[in-house]
Structure formats: structure tokens, C-alpha cells
Amino acid sequence: MKIRRAKDYADMSRKAANIISAQIILKPCARIGLATGSTPIGAYQQLIDWYRKDDLDFAEVVTYNLDEYRGLAHDDPQSYHYFMRKNLFDHVNIDLANTHVPDGSNLDAEAACAEYDAMVKAEGYMDLQLLGIGNNGHIGFNEPDEVFSKGTHCVDLTESTIQANSRLFDRPEDVPRQAYTMGVQTIMHARSILVIANGDAKAQAVYDMCFGPVTPRVPASILQLHTNCTVIADEAALALCPL
Ligand code: GLP
């Protein structure tokens, strides 16, 4: 695990966008796993900026998002489908047919997850997986558990995640209680992984991810075992790390 210190959110975002952009330049048809949440928005803005300057071409890029709330229509403003269009896809020349997000509108969890898993596997998994990290160490929506999850599956969100994500909803009771997420094993199949984190609310999770024991109680801790994982975090998120 390589840990890179960023000065602040803007620096973290630019460094992350540099790695994503390098991947696309090296392999224009790269399979890129994308994340939602507040953390990656700055990196997506930087990528849009480079696209507008003609420095980046998304024409052949294929994307798979980590997760989606169960029960939200694709055009629901709280859905991750909507988030991706608003924050990246609608502003670059990506072919929407090449973008994939688990189908939260399909309430048949087993079918929705099996279908997504089959697609990710058929692609040969991701060249680069971008990850944020939850305050409790979750990645995608893989919450602390007794075992590491494998493929795409339906999860019951923990109270801490519902609480953390409720800031983006009008009322806490509007936060869906379930989500479909790529499993930890699927994430670990990516050839390279990039984790980004900022702010002091993430300091404990970042410490546990990088220096704690590898345990499903902190799903991100398994990334210590990946052979090509880079963490880019700002000063506040690295505050507890002995670096
Ligand atoms: C959600 C997403 C995660 C994300 C996490 C942190 O739970 N499913 O993929 O990493 O939130 O979000 P934020 O970046 O807003 O802190």
C-alpha cells in the first residue's frame, strides 16, 4: 500500500485525477471502477476540465460503479445513476452505453446483483478501481461484518452509514435502508486501486485501513493485501497515521 499525502482537498483531487487520467491515456478502453460520495467530486471536476481542454478522451472508456441504493429509480436525484451523470458522464464524451451502475430500480436483489456480477466478470474486472472510504471503514457499501463479502450483493446499511449519508437527503428517513454493492472480492480483482480520503472525520478509518489489523470489521483493511493500492489522503485524514 502506497500512501501519498495531499495538502488539501484540491491537491488530493488533482493527484487522483492524474492517476485516472494516466490510466485512460495508457489504455483508452480502460475499465474503470467509479465511486460516489462527496470525496471524488473534485477529481471528477478535474477530469472534466482536462476533457474540455482536449487533454483527455473518454470515447472508449468503460465504467462500472461500485454501488447503488436499492429501490431508487435511475432518474431519482438521490440515486448514484443520477449522481454520475450530474458529476461526470454528462460533461465528457463517454458513451453512456459503456457506463454501468447496479440497477437499484430492480427490486429483485438476487437477479440485479447476479447480472451486475456477470458483467463485471465478463469484462475481466477493473483496470483501476477508485474508492472512497466510509467513516466506519466501509468501501462501496461493504459494511463492517464477520466475513469479507465476495461478489455483488444486497446489504442492509448500518445506522452510522445512514446517518452519514443523510446529509444528502431532505430527511434522514428518506435514506434507503438497503443498497446493492460490488463485493470486496470483486474490488480486490482490480489491477490497481486508488483510495481517496479527506477531512478529520476519516482519520480513524484511514488509520485502521492502513495500519490496523486486516479484518472484515474494517472492510477497507483488506486493501493492505492488494499488490497495487495507492491511498491519497489530505493532512486531516492522515492525522492519526505514523508517517
Ligand atoms: C457512501 C458510498 C461510498 C463512499 C462513502 C463515503 O457510503 N457508498 O462509496 O466512499 O459513502 O462518502 P463520502 O465521500 O461522501 O464521505
Averages of pLDDT over runs of 10 residues in the chain (243 residues) are 98 98 98 97 98 98 98 95 98 98 97 97 97 96 94 94 89 92 97 98 98 98 98 98 91
Pocket of ligand 1 (CB under 6 A): 35-39, 66-67, 132-134, 140-141, 161, 165
Q: Which of 136, 142, 165, 198 is catalytic?
A: 136
Type of residue numbered 28: P
Residue 180 domain-assigned (yes or no) = yes
Residue 239 domain-assigned (yes or no) = no
Is the sign of the CA dihedral 7, 8, 10, 16 positive or negative? positive
Q: Is 226 an annotated catalytic residue?
A: no
Residue 26 domain-assigned (yes or no) = yes
> What's the CATH number where 187 sits?
3.40.50.1360
Residue 243 domain-assigned (yes or no) = no
| Residue of 13, 34, 39, 161 with the most ligand 1 atoms within 8 Å of its CB, for mutation | 39
- The whole-number pLDDT of residue 57 equals 98
Residue 66 domain-assigned (yes or no) = yes
Cα 66 to Cα 57, 108, 207, distances in angstroms: 22, 18, 23
Q: Is 67 an annotated catalytic residue?
A: yes
Q: Is 153 an annotated catalytic residue?
A: no
- The whole-number pLDDT of residue 58 equals 98
Residue 29 domain-assigned (yes or no) = yes
Q: Is 81 an annotated catalytic residue?
A: no
Contact 56, 24 (CB under 8 A): yes
Q: Which atom of ligand 1 is nearest to the CA of 141?
A: 8
> How many separate domains does the chain show?
1
Residue 240 domain-assigned (yes or no) = no
User: Within its chain, how far is the Cα of 165 from the centroid?
Assistant: 14
Q: How far is the CA of 137 from the centre of ligand 1 (A)?
A: 10
Q: Which domain holds residue 167?
A: 2-234
Best CA proximity match to 120, nearest among 110, 133, 129, 109 = 129
- The whole-number pLDDT of residue 233 equals 98
Task: Write the residue with the smallest CA distance to atom 13 of ligand 1.
Answer: 37
Residue 152 domain-assigned (yes or no) = yes
- The whole-number pLDDT of residue 160 equals 87
- The whole-number pLDDT of residue 44 equals 98
Phi, psi of 58 (to 5 degrees): -100, 10
Q: Which atom of ligand 1 is nearest to the CA of 133?
A: 10
Type of residue numbered 202: K
